[in-house]
Amino acid sequence: MLEKFMRKKDKVSPSSDNQPHKTEESGKKGFSFQYAPSLESTDIVKIAETQKLFINGEFVESTGEQFFDTLNPATGLALSKVVESTEQDVDKAVRSARKAFEQVWSKTTGSERAQYLFRIARLIQDRSRELAVLETLDNGKPIKESRDVDIPLAAAHFFYNAGWADKLDYAFSGKNVRPLGVAAQVIPWNFPLLMAAWKIAPALATGNCVVLKPAETTSLTALLLAEICQEAGLPPGVVNIVTGAGETGARLTNHPDINKVAFTGSTEVGKIIARSLAGKDTKLTLELGGKSAQIVYEDAALDQAVEGVVNGIFFNQGHVCCAGSRLLLEESIANLFVKKLKARMSSLRVGNPLDKNTDVGAIHSQVELDKITGFVREAQMEGLEYFSASATTLPKEGYFHKPCFFNNVSSSASICRKEVFGPVLAISTFRTPQEAIVKANDTAYGLAAGVWSEKASKIQKTALGLKAGIVWANTYNKFDPASPFGGYKESGWGREGGRHGLLPYVEVQS
Amino acid sequence: MIQARYVVTSGGQRIPINDQPVDQVGAEERALSFTKRSIKKQSKLDALYAIIQMIDLTTLEGADTPARVRQMCAKAIQPVPRSLYAELQQDYKAPELPSVAAVCVYPTLVGTAVDALKGSLVQVASVATAFPSGQLPLNLKLADVKFAVDMGATEIDMVIPRGAFLSGQYQKVFDEIVATKEACGSAHLKVILETGELQTYDNVNLASRIAIMAGADFIKTSTGKVNPAATLPVTLVMLQVIKDHFEETGRKIGMKPAGGIRDTKTAIHYLCMVNEVLGEDWLNPDLFRFGASSLLNDVLRQIYKQYTGRYFYDDLFSMD
Amino acid sequence: MIFNRTTTPSPLVPKTNKLFINGEFPRSESGRSEPVHLHNSQKLHSYVCRASRKDLRTAVTAAQAGLPSWQKKTAYNRGQILYRMAEMLSSRRLDLVAQLQELLGIQENQAHEQVDKSLETLLYYSGFADKLNQVLGTINPVSGPYHNFTALEPMGVVGIVYDQEFNLNLFFHQIASTLCAGNSLVMIFDKPGCALLSDLAEIFKTSDLPNGVINLLSGSVEELSSPMASHMEVHALVVASADKDRLCQMQKLAVDNMKRVILWDFTKLSVEPLSALSESKTVWHPVGV
């Protein structure tokens, strides 16, 4: 099969042929560069048949018996069984957190807390391969992303917040701050370990104890993090993890002995939690949904803008609250941009998340896949121009969806208003910066936005006009523990990350 | 940004140069992504054989002699002695080992190379136009080119006048390339931008477009005499210009990163990049070359490793 | 004689306090008005309009429309306007002191103290407008070639439900901090404090404040708190309600558009109310050539 590389021997010698490159054969000498599967080994991961809860520093059995499967989205097969925590489990976890807070954690010094957090960060790094593989197995995201984004960032969150623990005096302009007590934290399935780190690290740094509930479909890395907490010698009860679905989440957030609730997830559930906490003294931060727009001006660096748009919507299969799911193109470059975008999308490699060359992995679950295909079908029925990288063949097993977009979408189309949470982009055009800003803001959400232009003053003006908590200018979907994250309007309350991310976990003394 | 930049042809026609701004961080990030590709097994083997065929085996030293060039030419035709390679073919059914694409030498050694390569398919490329600095009057540069072509070079690697480019004399750059192309006759023209001196990707983008509009068959990153030479992001920016030009005109321009590509791993990153930016059509020596010298030996080592599972010591291959 | 002419400069003709919407003084569209009496007395002080839900909607629309002009001003300029308010308040001191006495039964020296504190409050936030981002903004050292900063921005239209016993300083504290953070506002306040509405509005009317930035509604908090909490164009709610049930109800309604609910427990002049009344926006930009 390698003959295809061999140059024909019967050709005349170059010195006597002045046009050696213009022969009929030219162009046929190329080879088909198929990347052979390069699978990350899963040997490093040991998954128990059934999972336990992590309460008071120990892995304990639930008092309940209602187990459910946690699946590998790339195969649809069960990886392990996870338990739905009972009221008693949740209560026990909260009590253990309270006890740890009162007896141990509130008495530690900042530098002691920092030491624990540094150690956890280091252990995450030490076990990064294992965590990455487990994350990819349980979530379906490409190993490339769990390896290069999720796990390193999770460690970075602990490192970053560790440093704050003994410097809180500097964080609040000379004010004294006190921890709140026990924080109930409920996190989503799209960045399981990263969200856990994102929640736990600032809470612990500021002196709080936590009860964390991972999403019911992605508990495994959170439980491995619990093991790491144990290994780091974290005092029992400072971090507790209960598993289960919405019911467990409600039990936790409505527990009477909670001082603080931090939730990341859908706006729908966020609103339920907010209503349930109305009239209570519990502090609440919410990181909710989004329908973020990317504005591409005609004077943008178009090739990099294409990258940013692709990264914006297809990163993590579009299962990202701040996904750039709407694309607003200046009319003068719209056709050119769409052409470039199509070409770029065609080179995306969709498939087995464990393959190191996979760019787009598995849709997280059948439920999500159905939701996405529902949106796509609806938009198709509305007659919208649809494109998906047709050369891509999807694996037969598991849940997959081709990266795709709809072009010339009106602002009223549901694909332009509702959060799809999948690899589906809605494209429309604008004529002036003013129109671009108005269109970008034409949503109930306000999490993030992107703007692409090489004209600095236009970037500044646009960024000011955008009603969004994060504005990525000439880049997109960048995350850092030092950078505050959170949205305007229905995308949530409060910020996480950075100095601003400490505020929701403290009481500032006047 | 669509800037109104024009060059004027000798016939008085104004040609727009639609240069695009390039965001450095974004371009470098994309380039980095190709280093994350994991090319294994058959796909790696395929790539190794392809790389050999894409190499412009190069020697551009003041100390070059006819003897040295003859040695290199022998290796260009037959990278590994037949007797040695026969073992691989016998034991592992390895395919025939291809020749490299071309040898690249100074004009004075073109004649030697042409003689040494007679009967083979290996092309003779010559650097010209007062390589590497380009600091001679145009008539002397053109004489340089004509000499090389007359001696039998089928490919000319010219340098652009970077001083003119950096002082905004784009018309001069354009005119020199046009004149050189004419002097080449039917020889292929590779235009060296010397990206290490242009420094910004915006400059690389603009220079690539000028070179292509002026008639370059290939655009090439570097002389190998300036650091940095070829890098992945610089090559990416040039590939994207080639892509744009193809989309606009249907004409395929070749790409040659040169200098600094010493190992197989790096070369494979380049192949992945070409594959994903321009597609398989460009994965052949007519449209993609590596300007390199030590790369060949590393590729040969890797071929042995792929088949036998063992690493071979350097002495197995000649040092040329 | 209705009015005690010896101690106060009160007018002989009882006035009707009209609403303050979009820089104008309309009556309530509902045509409702009510008398307000002197403190601990059956004697008439003045009349107040009783704002309706429709008045509230009109006021929110005005606040929404006033927002861009207020945000477009430089922080320095906003600070100057807050300072102008202090000047205007100062020149109305005697009048207000008299009314605080008559209407709320506040001792003269305490009334003066309230004016003093209000002036202090206005000055404090006047000088904070162009420092807020220096105090609470950050440059974030992300690990990558990016310039990353977080700056505070206004939340937008703030609805203030003033349901506590009227205190001039608290009134100015809520208004000054809301404006300092760059927001526009609609305040609803009840009797008897709302009988001061005209006098207070005159201060704002003459302070070079763009129309619609401050809108004051006299009326029933009981009646208007729910429509305020559920209004989709109101972005944040300031409440200090001692009425737990009402607070709970407002918080629930606020969830519809995820209004930020700010429980006003700020007693000191500080950056905290400004922090609570601001959004933060984080901007990333690559650093390259």
Report pLDDT digits (tens) over A470-506.
999 999 999 999 999 999 999 999 999 999 999 999 9
pLDDT tens-digit profile of A155-164?
A: 999 999 999 9
Q: Distance between CA C212 and CA C63 in Å, rounded?
A: 5
Query: What's chain A's average pLDDT?
Result: 93
Please say if the pLDDT value at position A461 is more than 50: yes
Q: Distance between CA A181 and CA A166 in Å, rounded?
A: 18
In sequence order, the 6+-apart residues with CB closer than 8 A to the CB of A108 are A207
Q: Which residues of chain C lie closer than 8 angstroms to B23, CB-CB?
A: 286, 288
Q: What is the mean pLDDT of residues A91-101?
A: 98
- Considering only the beta carbons, identify the residue of A474, A489, A500 that sits closest to C258: A489
Q: What is the mean pLDDT of residues A451-474?
A: 98
Please say if the pLDDT value at position C1 is more than 80: no
Q: List the structure tokens of A451.
A: 């703007």
Distance from the Cα of B24 to chain C's closest Cα (Å) equals 5
Please say if the pLDDT value at position A29 is more than 80: no
CA A263-A269-A273 angle, to 5 degrees, is 65
Alpha helices for A40-150 (secondary structure H): 87-103, 110-126, 128-139, 143-145
Q: Which of residues 29-68 of A touch C (CB under 8 A)?
A: none
Q: Which of A195, A190, A122 is nearest to A162 (CA)?
A: A122
Instruction: Please list the active-site residues of A.
Output: 287, 321
Q: List the structure tokens of C98.
A: 């008299």
Q: Distance between CA A341 and CA A216 in Å, rounded?
A: 35
In chain B, beta strands by DSSP E: 6-8, 14-16, 55-58, 102-105, 123-127, 155-159, 188-192, 218-220, 254-256, 290-292
Cis peptide leading into residue A236 (ω within 30°): no
With a cut of 70, list the residues of chain B below it in pLDDT: 1-4, 313-320
User: Quick check: B122 and A302 CB within 8 A?
Assistant: no
Q: List the structure tokens of C37.
A: 């009496």
User: Quick check: B202 and C145 CB within 8 A?
Assistant: no
Q: Which residues of chain A lie closer than 8 angstroms to B39, CB-CB?
A: 35-36, 38
Instruction: Please give the pLDDT value at position C241.
Output: 80
C257 burial level (CB within 10 Å; 0-12, 13-18, 19+): middle
Instruction: Please give the pLDDT value at position A453.
Output: 98
User: Quick check: C285 and A508 CB within 8 A?
Assistant: no
Instruction: Please give the pLDDT value at position C137.
Output: 96
Element (H, E) at B273: helix B264-277
Give the pLDDT band of residue A389 (cuts 50, 70, 90).
confident
Instruction: Please give the pLDDT value at position B316.
Output: 65
> Is the CB of A486 inside 8 Å of chain C's CB atoms?
yes
High-pLDDT (> 90) share of chain A, %: 91
Give the pLDDT band of residue C4 (cuts 50, 70, 90).
very low
Interfacial residues of C (vs B; Cβ cutoff 8 Å): 144-146, 286-289
The DSSP symbol for A351 reads S
Instruction: Please give the pLDDT value at position C14.
Output: 79
Strand B6-8 versus strand B188-192 pairing type: unpaired
Residue in chain C lying closest to B21 (CA): C289
Q: List the structure tokens of A202.
A: 């600032």
Q: Identity (one letter) of the amino acid at A407? A: N
Q: What is the mean pLDDT of residues A2-9?
A: 40
Phi-psi region of A244 (alpha: psi -120 to 50; beta: other; left: phi over 0): left
pLDDT tens-digit profile of C157-194?
A: 999 999 889 999 999 999 999 999 999 999 999 999 99
Q: What is the mean pLDDT of residues C212-241?
A: 96
Q: Distance between CA A76 and CA A263 in Å, rounded?
A: 27
Please say if the pLDDT value at position A3 is more than 60: no
> Is the CB of C286 inside 8 Å of chain A's CB atoms?
yes
- Considering only the beta carbons, identify the residue of B46, B49, B240 that sits closest to A303: B240
Please say if the pLDDT value at position A17 is more than 80: no
Q: Which of B144, B217, B256, B320 is catalytic?
A: B256
Q: Which of B204, B248, B247, B194 is nearest to B23 (CA)?
A: B204
Q: Which residues of chain C lie closer than 8 angstroms to A463, CB-CB?
A: 281, 283
- A15 or A197, greater pLDDT: A197
User: Quick check: A483 and C284 CB within 8 A?
Assistant: yes
Whether residue B147 contacts residue B111, with contact meaning beta carbons closer than 8 Å, is answered with no
Neighbour count for residue A36 (Cβ, 10 Å): 16
> Is the CB of B21 inside 8 Å of chain C's CB atoms?
no
User: Quick check: A7 and B49 CB within 8 A?
Assistant: no
Site of tokens 């009349």: C47
Element (H, E) at C24: none
Neighbour count for residue B76 (Cβ, 10 Å): 28
Instruction: Please give the pLDDT value at position A31.
Output: 80
In sequence order, the 6+-apart residues with CB closer than 8 A to the CB of A217 are A70, A71, A138, A189, A364, A365
Q: Distance between CA C76 and CA C97 in Å, rounded?
A: 30
DSSP state letters, B130-141 = STTT--S-HHHH
Q: Would you call B220 a catalytic residue per the annotation?
A: yes
Q: Which chains pack against A, by 3+ Cβ pairs within 8 A?
A: B, C
User: Quick check: B24 and C146 CB within 8 A?
Assistant: no
Q: Distance between CA A314 and CA A423 in Å, rounded?
A: 5
Say whether the ipTM exceeds 0.90: yes
Q: What is the mean pLDDT of residues A91-116?
A: 98
Q: List the structure tokens of B34.
A: 């190709």
Q: List the structure tokens of A115.
A: 């030491």
Q: Identity (one letter) of the amino acid at A127? A: R
Q: What is the mean pLDDT of residues A18-44?
A: 69
What are the backbone dihedrals phi and psi of residue B225, each rounded to the nearest 5 degrees, phi first?
Answer: -100, -5
Q: Which of C22, C278, C21 is nearest to C129 (CA)?
A: C278
Q: Which residues of chain A lie closer than 8 angstroms to C235, CB-CB?
A: 489
High-pLDDT (> 90) share of chain C, %: 90
Residue in chain B lying closest to C147 (CA): B25
Q: Distance between CA A361 and CA A178 in Å, rounded?
A: 43
Whether residue A451 contacts residue A295, with contact meaning beta carbons closer than 8 Å, is answered with yes
Distance from the Cα of C167 to chain A's closest Cα (Å) equals 21
Dihedral sign from CA coordinates of C113, C114, C115, C119: positive
What are the backbone dihedrals phi and psi of residue B123, each rounded to the nearest 5 degrees, phi first?
Answer: -80, 160
Residue in chain A lying closest to C152 (CA): A469
Instruction: Please give the pLDDT value at position B132.
Output: 97
Q: Which of A485, A431, A430, A456 is nearest to A198 (CA)?
A: A485
